[in-house]
Amino acid sequence: MNSGTNLGDLAERINSGTDLGDSTKRANSGTNLGDLAERMNSSINLRDLAERVNSGSNLRDLAERVNSSTNLRDLAERMNPDTNLGDLSEKMNSGTNLGDLAKSMNSLTNLGDLSEMMNSGTNLGDLAKRANSGTNLGHLVERMNSGTILEIWSRG
């Protein structure tokens, strides 16, 4: 279109400083897109449209990092830098350990089936029996406090 412009296949050059390989390589002279998801800004590098959101964030499988200090392995491993989640349910706080998305919500709370404990001293059997800390519940009771071991008993 201009004297310095060379078009090979109607997608090679639009400006003299712009080089397009397959109509998605370059939109600006400083921008390089590999597969229409590699770069959006010059400092942002996306590998599979989920690798980076910020320049300090690294996502491997769209779930590995949200912040630069956060490391998620399988979209559930870390939410805080001190938090380690094993299967999307192990830890929500640094002192909390969840086994099957139901063991712990607080550092002193241990839940067995997502209905045993809501507070550190509270043990719930079916998520509807009791809600205060010093209360002991009905069925499927595992632990109330870190030093307390409860066996399964069924009393309302």
Domain assignment present for residue 100? The answer is no
Domain assignment present for residue 108? The answer is no
Domain assignment present for residue 31? The answer is yes
Domain assignment present for residue 145? The answer is no
Number of domains in the chain: 1
Instruction: Kindly state the tokens that stand for 27.
Output: 């939109």
Signed CA dihedral, 119, 125, 131, 136: sign only: negative
Model pLDDT, residue 137? 42
Domain assignment present for residue 36? The answer is yes
Domain assignment present for residue 124? The answer is no
At residue 37's C-alpha, the angle toward residues 87 and 42, to 5°, is 110
Domain assignment present for residue 33? The answer is yes
Tens of pLDDT along the chain (156 residues) come to 333 333 443 334 444 444 444 343 334 334 334 433 333 333 333 343 333 343 333 334 333 333 333 333 433 443 433 433 443 343 333 333 344 333 333 333 333 434 433 433 433 443 344 333 344 444 334 444 333 443 333 344
Query: Biggest alpha carbon distance in the chain?
Result: 90
pLDDT digits (tens, 9 = 90+) for 91-116: 333 333 344 333 333 333 333 434 43
Domain assignment present for residue 7? The answer is yes
Q: Which domain holds residue 8?
A: 1-42
Show the 3-state SS of the chain: CCCCCCCCCCCCCCCCCCCCCCCCCCCCCCCCCCCCCCCCCCCCCCCCCCCCCCCCCCCCCCCCCCCCCCCCCCCCCCCCCCCCCCCCCCCCCCCCCCCCCCCCCCCCCCCCCCCCCCCCCCCCCCCCCCCCCCCCCCCCCCECCCCCECCCCCCC
Signed CA dihedral, 146, 149, 152, 154: sign only: negative
CB of 126 within 8 A of CB of 113?
no
